[in-house]
Amino acid sequence: MNPLSAVFGAAVRLRNYGFDRGLLRARQLTGPVVSVGNLSVGGSGKTPFVILLGGLLKNRGISFDVLTRGYGRNSREIMAVDPSGHPAQFGDEPLLIARKLEVPVIVGSDRYFSGLWAEARFGPQLHLLDDAFQHRQLARDFEIVMVSPEDATDSLLPGGRLREPLDSLKRADAVVLAENTPAHGLPLEGKMVWRIRRGIFASEVPRRPLAFCGIARPQRFFRQLREAGIEPATEIAFRDHHAYAGKDVDALLTAAAQSGANGFVTTEKDVLNLSGLMSRLQPAAIVAVTMELLDAAASVDFLLRTLEQRRKRKTRLSV
């Protein structure tokens, strides 16, 4: 193991021990809290899953808001995302969530204070926490952890991509795996495992496009394109959350001309970060991530039943 990874792992375990033993206190919100997080840095599908779960909750008539950090935004204050706003103000993923779910999405680095802010304005409704498995300062009533196929064999930061060791999955109430991801190598005994089916949707894709993206795992996107029968003339990856500038568009146009591409294909997230520059990249196809929770009704039933049981237990303890 990388010596720095060992040091990082020891620090993470010490911190988790403090929360598990009550030496470090997690603060409580009035409304129930459901966290969606992961073990590794980026690319596990948290944002599409928050959108998926939010849609399922809306179908049940449940009111909720989403609390998220708002990575990459140029402000620090707590605020509600304006769906017509810009990624520089709110972050690209919070903006995408707000547009897809049409519910309050609150950005702020401290989810507890964001939750207080939300409850003061919208009441103590259910809170969905985006990317919050490691944000243990806020108590949660249900913990969902996304696990990618690479996690079982990965190592801790900075040698690998894991933010926590695999045994941290013991804190999860539900572990989310892709339908074809094997569970061996993961400490899942007694855990509720939810399976998802992932894909992409694209229409009117140029015959031989230049494919580009600025996401956590670009090669997964390029592989999905090929699996869908789309053969890019060339592929270009930017860093995750990349804020595109005119020079990037110039480089894409040059690369398209050199490779013989007759158009472009990219993700919804990248279109947000391109903003008005997207008009220069035509013709273009925008690919949406699709995600389906297998046996969704039973999974949501389990979530809501668990929340109700834990709320009753809290009420008894507070009397």
What confidence category does residue 247 fall into, taking pLDDT thresholds of 50, 70 and 90? very high
- The residue type found at 33 is V
Region 210-235: what's the mean pLDDT? 96
* Domains contained in the chain, number: 2
- Residues 165 and 82 reside in one and the same domain: yes
- Residues 189 and 81 reside in one and the same domain: yes
- Residues 174 and 210 reside in one and the same domain: no
Cβ atoms of 191 and 174 closer than 8 Å: yes
- Residues 71 and 155 reside in one and the same domain: yes
- Give tens-digit pLDDT for 5-59: 999 999 999 999 999 999 999 999 999 999 999 999 977 899 999 999 999 999 9
- Give tens-digit pLDDT for 45-96: 999 999 999 999 999 999 999 999 998 888 889 999 999 999 999 999 999 9
pLDDT for 79: 97
- Residues 85 and 169 reside in one and the same domain: yes
What confidence category does residue 319 fall into, taking pLDDT thresholds of 50, 70 and 90? low
Is pLDDT above 90 for 318? Answer: no
- Residues 71 and 117 reside in one and the same domain: yes
What confidence category does residue 129 fall into, taking pLDDT thresholds of 50, 70 and 90? very high
- Residues 67 and 179 reside in one and the same domain: yes
Specify the CATH number for the domain of residue 24: 3.40.50.300
pLDDT for 106: 98
- Give tens-digit pLDDT for 136-159: 999 999 999 999 988 989 999 999
Region 160-185: what's the mean pLDDT? 93
- Residues 64 and 104 reside in one and the same domain: yes
In a domain, 287, yes or no: no
* Pick from 235, 214, 215, 216: nearest CA to 225: 235
Domain that holds residue 82: 3-196+293-318
- Residues 246 and 168 reside in one and the same domain: no
pLDDT for 143: 98
In a domain, 288, yes or no: no
- Residues 60 and 171 reside in one and the same domain: yes
pLDDT for 47: 94
- Residues 107 and 238 reside in one and the same domain: no
Strand order through the sheet with 192-201 = 79-80, 105-107, 64-68, 126-130, 33-38, 142-146, 174-178, 192-201, 284-293, 264-267, 210-213, 234-237
- Residues 130 and 165 reside in one and the same domain: yes
Burial class (CB within 10 angstroms; exposed 0-12, middle 13-18, buried 19+) of 85: middle
Region 165-171: what's the mean pLDDT? 95
Region 247-263: what's the mean pLDDT? 98
Is pLDDT above 60 for 97? Answer: yes
pLDDT for 277: 97
Specify the CATH number for the domain of residue 210: 3.40.50
Hey, how many other C-beta atoms are within 10 angstroms of the C-beta on 157? 18
